[in-house]
Amino acid sequence: MKAKILALLRERGGYVSGQEMCDMFQVSRTAVWKAINQLKKEGYRIDAVSNKGYFLHPEEEVFGSHELESRIDTAWAGRPVHFFETIDSTNLRAKLEAEAGAKQGTLIVADEQTAGRGRRGRDWESPAGKNVYFTLLLRPEMDPGRASMLTLVMALAVAEGIQKTCRLDPQIKWPNDIVLEGKKICGMLTEMSLERDYIHYVVVGVGINVGLQCFPEPISATAACLQEFTGKPVNRATLIAEIMKSFEPLYDRFLQTYDMREIRQLYEDKLVNRNRQVRVLDPKGEYTGTARGINDRGELLVELPDGRTETVYAGEVSVRGLYGYT
């Protein structure tokens, strides 16, 4: 009910009477009063004026489960949402939930990660109070070889979510980094569990740098946060809600063919590497070429100096610009 009260007060933008809430939610006045008091304890500024009702001051962000629930407006993505003040890693938690039978769409969100991870065992810097760390649980019925494409679907959803929330125009560095003016704003880690030859579940983890912060060496040269570009604070719950809203239709389109065919153009329109010289850091040997786009399976197409085209699979490979990160 707390999330519903928040959503109602926010939508009205003015006073809402206690009686109206009782009627709407079919609860007693005491129950409404208790819920309001708990929201106040969580940090919301809510005025109570007799004969007028309750008023929510809109300015502050209170990042938590009620805020998230009150903003997530989807059919299934982000439902339910579990929020943690601090956690080892949202991916690890999502995997535990998945093993215990949690349904597709379950979302784990944290304010801080103590063991945030990136691809190939790298760390993801995850300080408290500033950023977004979440993991979405999916249970697609498809061949495991296609799972890496879900990262690309999420990258597109994150880019769209940032676009809508911040009015910025982020780009995607293949396969799954979001960049603004060449700086890394967001990273992702997709992991899956198999049962025989089938996917048991997939977790897609996302870390987005949002508030102003000092990045430690060695990432300070390549990392940036959204607020550096917006010039004002970004509401993290709104951002997550918008990403979930973008993800649903993109995922539906992905499921039509179980590949990128339907959303390839959208992805390529945002691809920062397109028609740029790239260095492919392949464990079998580094090479350079010109990135031309992706194929239907989400692999990067790199034109080599001799005219041949190499298809690069996301799994083990990083891509860099010739003279810098992008």
Q: Which two tokens stand for residue 280?
A: 């492919």
Our finding on whether 209 is near ligand ATP (CB under 6 A) is yes
Our finding on whether 170 is near ligand ATP (CB under 6 A) is no
Our finding on whether 130 is near ligand ATP (CB under 6 A) is no
Our finding on whether 122 is near ligand ATP (CB under 6 A) is yes
290-321 b/e (C-beta count within 10 Å ≥ 16 → b): bbbbbbebbbbbbbeeeeeeeebebeebbbbb
Neighbours of 250 (CB within 10 A): 20
The stretch among 16-24, 123-131, 132-140, 250-258 that binds ligand ATP (CB under 6 A) is: 123-131
Among 2, 82, 184, 236, binds ligand ATP (CB under 6 A): 184
Q: Which two tokens stand for residue 13?
A: 């933008």
Q: Is 137 or 189 the residue whose CB approaches ligand ATP more closely?
A: 189
Our finding on whether 22 is near ligand ATP (CB under 6 A) is no
In this structure, the strands spanning 132-138 and 198-208 are antiparallel
Our finding on whether 125 is near ligand ATP (CB under 6 A) is yes
The stretch among 73-81, 96-104, 115-123, 305-313 that binds ligand ATP (CB under 6 A) is: 115-123
CA dist 133 and 240 (Å) reads: 9
Cβ-proximal residues to 240 (8 Å cutoff; 6+ apart), any chain:
68, 71, 72, 78, 107, 109, 132, 134, 161
CA dist 33 and 76 (Å) reads: 30
Our finding on whether 177 is near ligand ATP (CB under 6 A) is yes
Our finding on whether 246 is near ligand ATP (CB under 6 A) is no
Residues that bind ligand ATP (CB under 6 A): 118-119, 122-125, 176-177, 184, 187, 189, 207, 209, 219, 223, 318
